[in-house]
Amino acid sequence: MRTYTTSAPGHIGESIEVKGWVNSRRDHGGLIFIDIRDHTSVLQLVVHPEAAEAFALAESLRDEFVIKASGKIAERAEELKNPNIATGSVELVVEHLELLNKSEPLPILVNSEQNVSEDMRLRYRYLDLRRPKMQHMLKKRAEYYSCMRSYMEDQEFIEVATPILANSSPEGARDFLIPSRLHPGKFYALPQAPQQFKQLLMVGGIPRYYQLAACFRDEDSRADRLYGEFYQLDLEVAFAESGEEIRSLMEPLIKRLVTDFAGKKLLTEDVPRIPYQEAMDRYGSDKPDLRFGMELVDLSEVLKDSGFGVFRNVLTDGGVVKAICVKGASSLSRSQIDKFTEIAKSEGAGGLAYLTFEAGEVKSPIAKFFSEAELRAIREATGAEDGDVVFFGADKREKVNKVLGRLRSEFAAHFKLKDPNVIALAWVVDFPFYEWDEKNNRLDFGHNPFSMPKGGVEALAAEDKLGIVADQYDMVMNGYEICSGAVRNHNPEVMYKVFAHLGYDEHYVNAKFGAMINAFKFGAPPHAGCAFGVDRMFMELMTEDNIREIVAFPKNGSGFDVMMNSPSVVDDTQLKELSIQSTSE
């Protein structure tokens, strides 16, 4: 007898066998129904008292017991068909029933839609994974990986595994360190990304490398950022001399994932290329969500002689006054506006000034500070109509962009402008090579130090270091950064110069990136590449807003695995072997 899945239980009259879990049991005294569930579906079993042995066992079954049932598939009478389940027109009339394993009463319900706290779900993840939603998620993820692999292979990339035991890298995130037993006092580090290895593969003559690479970073988590480990679709192309080569090479894959894989609509077939500065000025973000407009409008010129002291002072101090027009926001209550004000303050704003346009009038505590002409100009510049509210930001350019950028996203969420079935893609390009580190009052790398400055070594000589642009690009999906890449710096001289601007000498560079610098001296081809954050992209494609939803066994927000209890204490003998002092007493 063949074993069938519950979703395809054979034809009517056929004798079959199914295995699975008891999803629910309905005992009518003289007749027992059992819904058996496997990875495909649910099937109703009917146990009649005539099958005495099976009936006796059926009486003792409980939720999530593991069973094997055999019997004949029967069509249900018309009025007994259940259109709510896939197999609702048939049932298995049980002849034999076997208990494969019992289950204790469950801490969380597998067969119910009842909300369970995330903490509980992670503690009992193996039960959580039995739920159809999680089963679907894991299946889709495998399909997702398969899409990416086949695309990369079609484009003649080859997958190369790079070391997990690597070296600590001074730039970027905190490392996970692995003490070396054979070399006391020395440490491996788990790679934050295979960056250096993939560049060495380029020097090694690999024309096109890719890897679904595990990356490790010891930084605090967020809803869109896993603690500890995550995966990248990491790739690099030898002899690529412009970012556009990489962008046009990878774009079709992402579009295909959006449409064919996720079944969503692309906002635009053409993926816009937006320079970093333009993204900041128009959207107040280097990862703008383009599903909605609500662009930032610069009113500095219009309000330069404003009677509103707060604005005028900011402008004379070299700051800017910008605004966003929120459609229909006049319906917001006072307390709702207070909530947005708090958000603005959390981003560093002093407050949140606004003008409400209603019934041809302007209502606002600050309206009286503006002339008729100014109000008209504001209305014209922002496109405000009756029912809209214009919110202002006045401060240094960077801060205003940050505050209004955040508000833009919050307002869009509040007014439900983020259509979950639409995916807006964009490439943000031309990132600043250096940025000013306010805290330490020094120049620092904007993105990562391995990028080629646009214009090469001549550009580096520029007086204004902050004006140097890197040939660097991010892909943005609905406001999430899903990819970061660059044309790499493959020239040792340029590399030294790049670091020299930050005050690092050749010794430092040799010590930290010796292997790469050395390799570059032996005929390194130009190369460029990028890495997609596959977890985050998958989250958005699956319309989830928490990244732990789409990973089988994630750590919780504080980096703890509540199921496995890791991290955990280890034996002193293990520590001794690793030449580590015990801290237990």
Between 84 and 333, CB nearer to RNA: 84
From 36, 110, 116, 407, residue interacting with RNA (rule: CB under 7 A): 116
Structure tokens at 503: 């005050």
Tell me the C-alpha distance between 339 and 343, whole Å.
6
The answer to whether residue 173 forms part of the interface with RNA (CB under 7 A) is yes
The answer to whether residue 222 forms part of the interface with RNA (CB under 7 A) is yes
Contact at 8 Å (CB) between 66 and 48? no
The answer to whether residue 105 forms part of the interface with RNA (CB under 7 A) is yes
Structure tokens at 468: 């140097």
Between 63 and 278, CB nearer to RNA: 63
Between 112 and 582, CB nearer to RNA: 112
Torsion of CA 358, 363, 369, 372, to 10 degrees: 20
Tell me the C-alpha distance between 176 and 190, whole Å.
6
Between 378 and 403, CB nearer to RNA: 403
Nearest to 36 by CA among 96, 111, 105: 111
- DSSP letter (8 states) at residue 446: S
- What are 475's strand-pairing partners? 427, 483
The answer to whether residue 558 forms part of the interface with RNA (CB under 7 A) is yes
Judged by phi (left if over 0) then psi (alpha if -120 to 50, else beta), residue 456 lies in left
Q: Is residue 356 helix, strand or coil? A: strand
Binding to RNA, residues 289-318 (CB under 7 A) = none
The answer to whether residue 132 forms part of the interface with RNA (CB under 7 A) is no
The answer to whether residue 81 forms part of the interface with RNA (CB under 7 A) is yes
Number of residues that bind RNA (CB under 7 A): 68
x/- letters, 321..350, toward RNA (CB under 7 A): -------------------------x----
The answer to whether residue 48 forms part of the interface with RNA (CB under 7 A) is yes
From 194, 288, 446, 492, residue interacting with RNA (rule: CB under 7 A): 446
From 155, 491, 510, 556, residue interacting with RNA (rule: CB under 7 A): 556
From 192, 356, 478, 489, residue interacting with RNA (rule: CB under 7 A): 192
The answer to whether residue 13 forms part of the interface with RNA (CB under 7 A) is no
Contact at 8 Å (CB) between 513 and 172? no
Binding to RNA, residues 515-554 (CB under 7 A) = 531, 533, 546, 548
| Intra-chain end-to-end CA distance of the chain, in Å | 62
Binding to RNA, residues 237-266 (CB under 7 A) = none
The answer to whether residue 115 forms part of the interface with RNA (CB under 7 A) is yes
* Secondary structure (H, E, C), 230-282: EEEEEEEEECCCCHHHHHHHHHHHHHHHHHHHCCCEECCCCCCEEEHHHHHHH
Report in angstroms how near the CB of residue 534 gets to RNA at its nearest: 11
Torsion of CA 197, 200, 204, 205, to 10 degrees: 100
Residues binding RNA (CB under 7 A): 24-31, 33, 35, 44, 46, 48-49, 62-63, 76, 80-82, 84-85, 88, 91, 105-109, 111-120, 172-174, 192-193, 217, 219-225, 346, 431, 439, 446-448, 481, 484, 531, 533, 546, 548, 556-558, 560
